[in-house]
Structure 1
Amino acid sequence: MSMRYNRQLPSPQELKREYPLSAKLHLGKSQRDEEIRAVFEGRSQKFLVVVGPCSADREDAVLEYAVRLARLQEQVKEKLLLIPRVYTNKPRTTGAGYKGMLHQPSPDKAPDLLGGIIAIRRLHLRVMEESGLTAADEMLYPENRSYLDDVLSYEAVGARSVENQQHRLTASGMEIPVGMKNPTSGDLSVMLNSIQAAQSGHTFLYRGWDVSTTGNPLAHAILRGGVDKYGTCVPNYHYEDLMRLWELYQKRGLSFPAAVVDANHSNSDKKYKEQPRIVSEVLHSRSHSPEVKALVKGVMIESYLEEGCQPIEGERAYGKSITDPCLGWKDTERLLLEMAGRV
């Protein structure tokens, strides 16, 4: 056979019984979810910042980052709503390379999916316990999100998944904001089709069940730039891009027009130190136009304890990315404080 069945994994219900969400954490998550929902529904003028490592590669460093972020949240709480990126699975364009903690709880060891589902649930619970913040993750595999659906406050559907039917239908049954990235081509119509599908109700097959959903009005756009046919990055965070997206939203009549701007990836051409400049331009565009201000609810920033990135092989520095390069903590702290003064 071309596919070997290694072992049957615990169901999400079994894993949740073994690693439960306490009543205290559930209450905290409900409060955070309401704060975030209020931003997308226009009832709050706070600005969202989804910020953290490109990939959550080790528990200790991610926890330290989240605790630092929580202390900073207290300083900027009147203006900003910080959501830590705890991305536990990573898309790989060619299928090769580190696929995240879900696959490899220890990056330099062989894949261990049983250890992975335990590690990612435990990590998200510890982030909540030690920082008081609830996190964002990427919905790389729709079926796997059931292991985390009670702990996440924000999910993103990546550029390579946004056209996938199962991602769209699964998003339609979520009760938290889900951001649909534009595809790597930069085609906004693909992203908007995905948002429209996610905001509608559906009946489909999910984890062996016949399920129905009512639609998720908090499905929204994430602008991450695109790549043209020559492989050149084409950003889409400029004022004209934001106004164009606003107009497209109006034509479609979708609920709660909203966008989050990804300051890295093809918007920065992965030049991570460009992220503060890009965020500054987005804030300027919001100050210039009431439509853009109503549309752009936040930004995404890739940031870790140490700046840059490092190879996975050999001895690794603590708190430094092993996937895409990230801003370091000092630059991140400076940027978030500056943002709080401008929003």
Structure 2
Amino acid sequence: MSIKINHELPLPEVLKAEYPVSDRIREIKQKRDEEIRDIFTGKKDKFIVLVGPCSADNEESVCEYTRRLKKVSDQVADRVLVIPRVYTNKPRTTGDGYKGMLHQPDPEKEPDLLAGIIAIRKMHIRVMEETGLSTADEMLYPENRSYLDDVLSYEAIGARSVENQQHRLTASGMDIPVGMKNPTSGDLSVMLNSVTAAQHPHRFIYRGNDVETSGNELAHTILRGGVDKYGKNIPNYHYEDLARLAEMYEKWNLKNPAVIVDVNHSNSSKQYKEQIRIVSEVLHSRNYNPELKRLVKGVMIESYLVEGRQDIAENLVYGQSITDPCIGWEDTQRLIYDIAEKC
């Protein structure tokens, strides 16, 4: 056995006290949370656009991106609610590669999770201070969300985590929407079982405590495509997939039926430009069928300042992904305007 303790991490309340949020930020988050809740419960019919880098790898480029996003968001605010993807935890299929700012605040340096926890909290707060937009992140490590639970307005549970008991039970204690992705196999029943678990109350061990949750009625599904036993991508954003999910939701008898369509990953086969076409098809399906219009609450898009991706090396291109490829800013801006016209 070889486990070496590098740092004893601070308790969440200690870190929050050291890097607090202002009264203004609390007010921004509260108002945004209320509006997002109203969309998921059907009280408002705005369309949600979760958009941003595959991985938030650099504070300056992420903040520049979100400042640009704020200007576009203001112009479409009557139809679209924009939530910046500020994803600081990056799951890796094989365990190798860049795991996000939580692990490596500087992608060119060695991992440092103590510095990472501080860096990601400061970045989420800075985005809100500069833009007034509260953010989304992925819950890769359930115990770590306590460092960010006062700043996030949306969380996703990834395809490799969605069957994990701790993720499901932790989601049941959250007071913001949590999206459960279908697993890499594409099995929709696994995804809906996770939503069921998250919507119910539970008692379990969390951060060394015996805790009890009340259930999260805003837990919902995210379609991201799947992979068959031969490694071939199988998209699940088509009309028939959405209609099938609507039927399954009715049989499962869950609260606030909702789905976000992730237009990258196995839905696009990571052909990042395909995201533009897929969004258009999802909007067409939604507008064709009133039931799907109620069910499909939004899309998730991977986007950054510069399109494509790059390997980690000296002289990194500012604002280009170092993980999955993303569409660039010009395409992103046009796409959000197009969504506002069609949704």
Fold equivalence (TM over 0.5): yes
Partner of 2:297: 297
1:179 aligns with 2:176: no
Q: CA deviation at 1:92?
A: 0.7
In structure 1, list runs of 5 or more residues that go unmatched: none
Partner of 2:323: 323
Q: CA deviation at 1:302?
A: 0.2
1:91-170 to 2 correspondences below 5 Å: 91-170=91-170
2:276 partner amino acid: P
Distance in 2, Cα, partners of 1:273 & 1:16: 39
Runs (4 or more) in structure 1 with deviation over 6 Å come to: none
1:311 aligns with 2:308: no
Distance in 1, Cα, partners of 2:118 & 2:39: 32
Write out per-residue CA displacement over residues 206-238 of structure 1, whole angstroms, 9 at most, x where no aligned residue.
Answer: 001100001000000000000011111000000
1:301 partner amino acid: I
1:234 partner amino acid: I
Give 3-state SS (helix, strand or coil) of 1:308's partner.
strand
Partner of 2:29: 29
Give 3-state SS (helix, strand or coil) of 1:331's partner.
helix
TM-score, with length taken from structure 2: 0.99
Give 3-state SS (helix, strand or coil) of 2:170's partner.
helix
Q: CA deviation at 1:44?
A: 0.5
Distance in 2, Cα, partners of 1:226 & 1:38: 30
Distance in 1, Cα, partners of 2:21 & 2:7: 26
Distance in 1, Cα, partners of 2:252 & 2:98: 38
1:212 aligns with 2:238: no
Partner of 1:244: 244
Distance in 2, Cα, partners of 1:7 & 1:300: 35
- Please give the root-mean-square deviation of Cα atoms over the aligned residues, in Å: 0.5
Give 3-state SS (helix, strand or coil) of 2:298's partner.
strand
Q: CA deviation at 1:314?
A: 2.5
Q: CA deviation at 1:7?
A: 2.2
Distance in 2, Cα, partners of 1:195 & 1:114: 32
2:239 partner amino acid: Y
TM-score, with length taken from structure 1: 0.99
1:265-280 to 2 correspondences below 5 Å: 265-280=265-280
1:69 aligns with 2:69: yes
Could you tell which deviates more after superposition, 275-284 or 310-319?
A: 310-319
Q: CA deviation at 1:2?
A: 1.5
In structure 2, list runs of 5 or more residues that go unmatched: none
Partner of 2:283: 283
Distance in 1, Cα, partners of 2:276 & 2:78: 21
Distance in 1, Cα, partners of 2:199 & 2:94: 31
Q: CA deviation at 1:139?
A: 0.1
Write out per-residue CA displacement over residues 104-123 of structure 1, whole angstroms, 9 at most, x where no aligned residue.
Answer: 00001001111000000000
Could you tell which deviates more after superposition, 276-285 or 306-315?
A: 306-315
Identity of aligned residues (%): 69
Distance in 2, Cα, partners of 1:7 & 1:277: 46
1:254 partner amino acid: L
Aligned residues: 343
Partner of 2:256: 256
